[in-house]
Structure 1
Amino acid sequence: MFNKVLYIKYHTTALKLGITAFKTIPFKSEKSFINGQWVSAQSGKNLDVFNPATGTLVGTVPDMNTADTQIAIDSASKAFETWKNTTAKERSQILRRWYSLMLENQNTIAEIMTAESGKSLQESNGEVIYGNSFVEWFSELARQVRGEVIPSSDRSKKILIHHQPIGVVGLITPWNFPHAMITRKASAALSVGCTVVVKPGEDTPLTAVEIMKCAEKAGFPPGVINLLTSSRENTAEIGRLLCKSPLVAGISFTGSTTVGKILYSQCAPGIKRIGLELGGNASFIVYKSANLDKAVEGALTSKFRNCGQTCVASNRFLIQADIFDAFVDKLVAKVKNLKIGNGFDEGTQIGPLINEAQLHKVSNFVEDAVSKGAKVLVGGKPASHIGKLFYEPTVLSNITSNMLVYSEEVFGPVISLIHFNTEEESLHIANSNDVGLASYFYSEDISQVFRVSHNLEVGMVGVNVGLISAAEAPFGGIKQSGLGREGSHLGIEDYTYIKYTCLGNL
Structure 2
Amino acid sequence: MQSILPLPTQPVKPGTSTGQQFWQSSEKTIDSYSPADGQLIARVHVSSRADYDRVVETAQAAFQQWRQVPAPRRGEIVRQMGEQFRRYKRELGTLVSYEMGKSLQEGLGEVQEIIDICDFAVGQSRQLYGLSMHSERPAHRMFEQWHSLGVVGIISAFNFPVAVWSWNAMLAWVCGDVCIWKPSEKTPLTALACQQIIGDVLRNNDVPEGVSCLVTGGRDAGEWLARDPRIALVSATGSTRMGKAVAEAVAGRLGRSLLELGGNNAIIVSEHADLDLAIPAIVFGAVGTAGQRCTTTRRLIVQESIYDDVKNRLKNAYAQLRIGSPLDESFHVGPLIDQQAVKGYQTAVNEIRELGGRFVVEPGLIDGSGFESGCYVKPCIAEAENQWPIVQKETFAPILYLLKYTSLDDAIAQQNAVPQGLSSAIFTLNMREAERFLSIAGSDCGIANVNIGTSGAEIGGAFGGEKETGGGRESGSDAWKAYMRRQTNTVNYGTTMPLAQGITFEL
Give yes or no for TM over 0.5.
yes
- Matched with 1:221 is 208
| Cα shift at 1:100 | 0.4
In structure 2, the residue matched to 1:393 is 379
| 3-state DSSP of counterpart to 2:437 | helix
- The match for 2:233 among 225, 235, 250 is 250
1:315 aligns with 2:298: yes
**1:41 and 2:24 correspond:** yes
Q: Which has the larger radius of gyration?
A: 2
Q: CA–CA distance in 2 between the matches of 1:192 and 1:203?
A: 30
> Are residues 1:458 and 2:440 paired?
no
Alignment pair present for 1:472 and 2:454: no
SS state of the match for residue 475, structure 2? coil
Tell me the residue number matched to 2:472. 484
How far does residue 270 in structure 1 lie from its aligned partner after superposition? Answer: 2.0
Q: In structure 2, what is the equivalent of residue 407 of structure 1?
A: 392
Please say if residues 279 and 481 of structure 1, whose CA atoms lie closer than 8 Å, have aligned partners that are also in contact. Answer: yes
> Of the candidates 97, 122, 126, which is equivalent to residue 114 of structure 1?
97
Structure 1 residues 117-140: Cα deviation after superposition (integer angstroms, max 9, x where no partner): 111111111111122211221122
Q: TM-score, normalised by structure 1?
A: 0.92
1:147 to 2:130 alignment: yes
Paired amino acid for 1:434: P
In 2, the alpha carbon distance for the partners of 1:288 and 1:27 equals 58
- List aligned pairs for 1:332-411, cutoff 5 A: 332-385=315-368, 386-387=371-372, 388-397=374-383, 399-401=384-386, 403-411=388-396
Question: Is 1:192–1:492's contact at 8 Å kept on the other side of the alignment?
Answer: yes
Residue of structure 2 equivalent to 1:445? 430
C-alpha contact 2:236 2:260 (8 A) present in aligned 1: yes
Q: Which amino acid aligns with 1:502?
A: T
Q: Deviations over 1:260-317 (max 9, x none)?
A: 1111110113211110011011111101000111111110121111111000111111
- 8 Å contact 2:465–2:471 — kept in the other structure? yes
Q: What is the aligned partner in structure 1 of residue 147 from structure 2? A: 164
CA distance in 2, matches of 1:211, 1:425: 46
Structure 1 distance, partners of 2:98, 2:405, is: 42
- Are positions 1:493 and 2:505 aligned together? no
Matched residues in 2 for 1:94 and 1:359: separation? Answer: 42
> Would the aligned equivalents of 1:52 and 1:354 in 2 still touch at CA under 8 Å?
yes
Q: Are 2:146 and 2:485, in contact at CA under 8 Å, matched by a contact in 1?
A: yes
User: Counterpart of 1:271 in 2: which secondary structure?
Assistant: coil
Deviation at 1:447, TM superposition (A): 0.7
Deviations 1:332-386 (A, max 9, x none): 1111111111111241111110011111111111111112211122231111333
Partner secondary structure for residue 484 of structure 1? coil
Residue 82 to residue 27, structure 1, CA distance change in 2 (3 Å): closer
Q: 1:30 aligns with which of 12, 15, 19?
A: 12
2:229 touches 2:253 (CA, 8 Å); kept in 1?
A: yes
Instruction: Give the AA of the match of 1:419.
Output: K
Matched, 1:429 2:414: yes
Q: What residue is the counterpart of 2:498 in the other structure? A: none
Paired positions, count = 482
Look up the equivalent residue of 2:313 and give its one-letter code: K
CA distance in 2, matches of 1:482, 1:164: 25
Give the Cα–Cα distance (whole angstroms) in 2 for the partners of residues 464 and 28 of structure 1.
49
Query: Structure 2 CA distance, aligned partners of 1:154 and 1:180?
Result: 48
Q: Give the AA of the match of 2:472.
A: G
Q: Which moved more, 1:41-50 or 1:400-409?
A: 400-409
> Is residue 98 from structure 1 mapped to residue 81 from structure 2 by the alignment?
yes
- Per-residue CA shift, 1:53-102, capped at 9, x if unaligned? 21101112221132221111111111000111110121011000001001
1:52-91 correspondence runs (5 A): 52-91=35-74
Aligned-residue identity in percent: 27
Question: Aligned partners of 1:137, 1:495: CA distance in 2, in Å?
Answer: 15
**C-alpha contact (below 8 Å) 1:405/1:416 kept by paired residues:** no
CA contact (8 A) 1:40 1:62 kept: no
In the alignment, is the contact (CA less than 8 A) between 1:45 and 1:62 conserved in 2?
A: yes
TM-score, normalised to structure 2, is 0.92
Letter in 2 for 1:135: C
Residue equivalent to 1:14: none
Q: SS where residue 377 of structure 2 aligns? A: coil
3-state SS in 1 of match to 2:478? helix
| Conserved 8 A contact 2:290-2:335 | yes
Gaps of 5+ in 1: 1-5, 9-21
Residue 261 (structure 2) pairs with residue 278 (structure 1) = yes
CA contact (8 A) 1:32 1:209 kept: no
Query: How many Å apart are 1:26 and its aligned residue?
Result: 11
**Cα RMSD after superposing both structures:** 1.8
Q: How does 1:120-139 map to 2 (within 5 A)?
A: 120-139=103-122
One-letter amino acid matched to 1:164 = H
| Aligned partners of 2:151 and 2:179 also within 8 Å | yes
Q: Deviations over 1:464-484 (max 9, x none)?
A: 112441110010111111123
Query: Could you list the runs of 5+ residues in structure 2 that have no partner in the other structure?
Result: 495-507
Aligned partners of 2:68 and 2:181: how far apart in 1?
Answer: 22
Letter of the structure 1 residue corresponding to residue 391 of structure 2:
Y
Tell me if the contact between 2:67 and 2:148 (Cα under 8 Å) persists in the aligned partners.
yes
- Superimposed CA distance per residue, residues 432-460 of structure 1 (whole angstroms, 9 cap, x where no aligned partner): 12211111110110010000122111110
| Equivalent residue number for residue 163 of structure 2 | 180
Alignment-derived partner of residue 3 in structure 1: none
Kindly tell me: are residues 26 and 496 of structure 1, through their superposed partners in 2, closer, same or farther at Cα, counting changes over 3 Å? closer
Amino acid at match of 2:66: W
Name the counterpart of 2:499: none
Residue in 2 aligned with 1:19? none
Distance between the aligned counterparts of 1:287 and 1:35, measured in 2? 50
Report the alpha carbon displacement of residue 193 of structure 1 after superposing the two structures with TM. Answer: 0.3
- Mapped partners of 2:393, 2:224: distance in 1: 30
CA spacing shift, 1:38–1:395, aligned 2, 3 Å? farther
SS in 1 for 2:232: strand
Question: 1:282 & 1:38 partners in 2: Cα distance?
Answer: 43
For 1:149 and 1:293, locate their aligned partners in 2 and report how far apart those are by CA, in whole Å: 50
| SS of residue in 2 equivalent to 1:380 | coil
Partners of 1:296 and 1:331 within 8 A in 2: yes
